[in-house]
Amino acid sequence: MGSFKWINLFIIIFKYFLTITPIFSYSNEVPNFLDLAKEPQVFDWMVDIRRKIHENPELGYEEFETSKLIREKLDELGIPYKHPVAVTGVVGYIGTGLPPFVALRADMDALLMQELVEWEHKSKVPGKMHACGHDAHVSMLLGAAKILKDHEKYFNGTVVLVFQPAEEGGAGAKKIVDAGVLENVSAIFGLHILPGIPLGEVASKSGPMSAGCGLFEAIISGRGGHAALPQHSIDPILAASNVIVSLQHIVSREVDPLDSQVVTVGMFQGGGAFNVIPDSVTIGGTFRAFLRESFTQLKHRIEQVISGQAAVQRCNATVSFLEEKKPLIPPTVNNGDLHDYFKSVAGSLLGTDKVKGMEQMTGSEDFAFYQEALPGYLFLLGMEDISAERLPGPHSPYYKVNEDALPYGAALHASLAAGYLAKLHHEVLVVEGKYHDEL
């Protein structure tokens, strides 16, 4: 009895493998893009691009030269593109031009800060710097484009290259989505290079990854007067102080302790003399949450608490979330199926021990806008050389990119996109019954 069952089981498993393997076999379908990306004609090319962009950092929606350089490189590779998309954005296409579509994203903007690293390719623009690695992001996506283009004839579908403006608070991703270029795209992948994670490793997680981020500003108005005669004034300093204390009670008293949220008041402007009660006080701050519903609720309560608490002290308050200037960034939430897919691709390319989990981060990423529109996946790319000095964190004037990470980013982009097209193609064949007969 036993042996009959075992043989049957064996046959079933064997048949399963025969039929399943062609459905999606990463190693058969996708070349080793890491070896390709490490070759000098790709690696040196990426390094050169990254250094050019680093020398000429441009702020959000002003990435004109960066955008031009990207288009020159795409022309060089024979890759068609759309431009301008979202002011300075460029969207390139590799493959058949037909569905399925899979997108890869790189952000292009720099920061308003002075570089303090003394090196040959230091920023040539005073007060502007690529201190978040977006110069590396552009160069890695171009590197991916270069190696993908060489394998274009094997694609059943199209890779969409998204070079996006204004990630640093400008919500460039939202403008890309609004432009409609991601319609019919099945999935989008993005990466962020980060110190603190060893070179050759990646980190990510399923579900909420980085927080939604909003700003608020409130003008609390009272009535100014002599500090020695408070009865004739309405003191906005005291009212603003109470507002700030009450704002801290939202997270500590109203929110599930397991649902992490932040409210920080970082700005308090009011008064200019020791003995004068001012007319008004302006406060400003930021709030963060990981769940879309929590983020909306937090925003709502911030507004209520400021107005309500100001009224208790006989003041009026006007609250603004500055959405015209700085759109709210929703939480970054990674798609669970794409997480499994990412682990299999990154594991094959780097080794499964190099694919790490992570805690969610209270920073924010405008990649969230893509994830509201379609399945999206963001991961962190390591660049720390553990044998060398520790790299400073992002947004530091001493920020440095370890350029040895460039081939890893390019290869991951390329593998994720090519593998995903192969996977979608086989899924279509299965639905059409082309592999079913064997089962």
Ligand X SMILES: *[C@@H]1O[C@H](CO)[C@@H](O)[C@H](O)[C@H]1NC(C)=O
Task: Provide the annotated binding site for Mn(2+).
Answer: 132, 134, 168, 192, 395
Q: Decide: is 234 part of the binding site for ligand X (CB under 6 A).
A: yes
User: Does residue 180 belong to the site contacting ligand X (CB under 6 A)?
Assistant: yes
Query: Residue 184 Cβ, how far from Zn ion at the closest point, in Å?
Result: 27
Which residue, 36, 234, 56, is CA-closest to 129? 56
CB of 180 to ligand X, least distance (A): 6
Query: Sheet holding 280-289: strands in order across?
Result: 261-270, 280-289, 212-221, 316-320
Give the pair of three-digit tokens for residue 12: 């079933």
Buried b (16+ CB within 10 A) or exposed e, 247-268: beebbeeebeeeebbebebeee
Contact window for Zn ion (CB under 5 A) among 71-79, 131-139, 153-161, 429-437? 131-139
Q: Side chain identity at 1, as an amino acid letter?
A: M
Q: Which residue stretch of 55-63, 120-128, 177-185, 339-347 sits at the interface with ligand X (rule: CB under 6 A)?
A: 177-185
The three-point CA angle 322-110-373 to 5° equals 60
Q: How far is the CB of 197 from ligand X (least distance, A)?
A: 35
Element housing 213 (H / E) = strand 212-221
Among 47, 103, 110, 132, binds Zn ion (CB under 5 A): 132
- Considering only the stretches 2-10, 167-175, 221-229, 367-375, report the one whose residues sit in contact with ligand X under the rule CB under 6 A: 221-229
Choosing from 27, 184, 248, 304, the residue that interacts with ligand X (CB under 6 A) is 184
What does the alpha-carbon distance between residue 184 and residue 187 come to, in Å, rounded to a whole number?
9
Question: Minimal distance in Å, beta carbon 282 to Zn ion?
Answer: 26
Q: What is the DSSP string of 296-364?
A: HHHHHHHHHHHHHHHHHTT-EEEEE--TTTSPPBPPEEE-HHHHHHHHHHHHHHH-GGGEE----BSS-
Q: What is the DSSP string of 178-190?
A: HTTTTTTEEEEEE
Tokens of 405: 């990470």
Measured from the CB of residue 82, what is the shortest distance to Zn ion in angstroms?
24
Interaction between residue 282 and ligand X (CB under 6 A) = no
Report which residue type is found at 118: E
Smallest gap from residue 156 Cβ to ligand X (A): 4
- Per CB under 5 A, 289 contacts Zn ion: no
Interface residue with ligand X, options 51, 149, 223, 292 (CB under 6 A):
223
Give the one entry of ligand X, Zn ion, none that residue 350 binds, where binding means its C-beta sits below a cut-off of 5 to 8 angstroms depending on kind.
Answer: none
Strands 158-164 and 101-107: parallel
Pull the structure tokens for residue 364.
């924010």
Is residue 276 within 8 Å of residue 246, measured between CB atoms? no
Binding residues, as ranges, are 132, 134, 168, 192, 395
What does the block give as tokens for 356?
């790490």
Cis before 165 (ω within 30): no
The DSSP bridge pattern shows strands 185-198 and 376-384 to be parallel
- Among residues 19, 156, 206, 297, which is the contact residue for ligand X, using CB under 6 A? 156
**Interface with Zn ion: number of residues (CB under 5 A):** 1
In whole angstroms, how close is the CB of 174 to Zn ion at the nearest point?
A: 16
Q: From the list 39, 44, 183, 337, which residue makes contact with ligand X (rule: CB under 6 A)?
A: 183
Say if residue 84 is preceded by a cis peptide, omega within 30 of 0.
Answer: yes
Nearer to ligand X, 170 or 222 (CB): 222
Judged by CB under 6 A, the stretch of 33-41, 59-67, 195-203, 216-224 that binds ligand X is 216-224
C-beta nearest to Zn ion: residue: 132
Nearest to Zn ion of 210, 241 (CB atom)? 210
Centroid of chain to Cα 292: 16
The DSSP symbol for 404 reads: G
Helix (H, G, I), strand (E, B) or coil at 208: strand
Q: Which is nearer to ligand X, 25 or 56 (CB)?
A: 25
Piece in contact with Zn ion (CB under 5 A), picked from 3-11, 124-132, 206-214, 298-306: 124-132
Count of residues of this chain found to bind ligand X when the rule CB under 6 A is applied: 10
Shorter beta-carbon distance to ligand X: residue 85 or 132: 85
Minimum gap (Å) between residue 153 Cβ and ligand X: 6
Q: What angle do CA 15, 28, 415 make, to 5 degrees?
A: 130
SS3 state of residue 151:
coil
Residue 263's binding partner among Zn ion, ligand X, none (Cβ under 5 to 8 angstroms by kind) is none
Q: Where do contacts with Zn ion occur on this chain (CB under 5 A)?
A: 132
Q: Where do contacts with ligand X occur on this chain (CB under 6 A)?
A: 156, 180, 183-184, 221-223, 234, 315-316
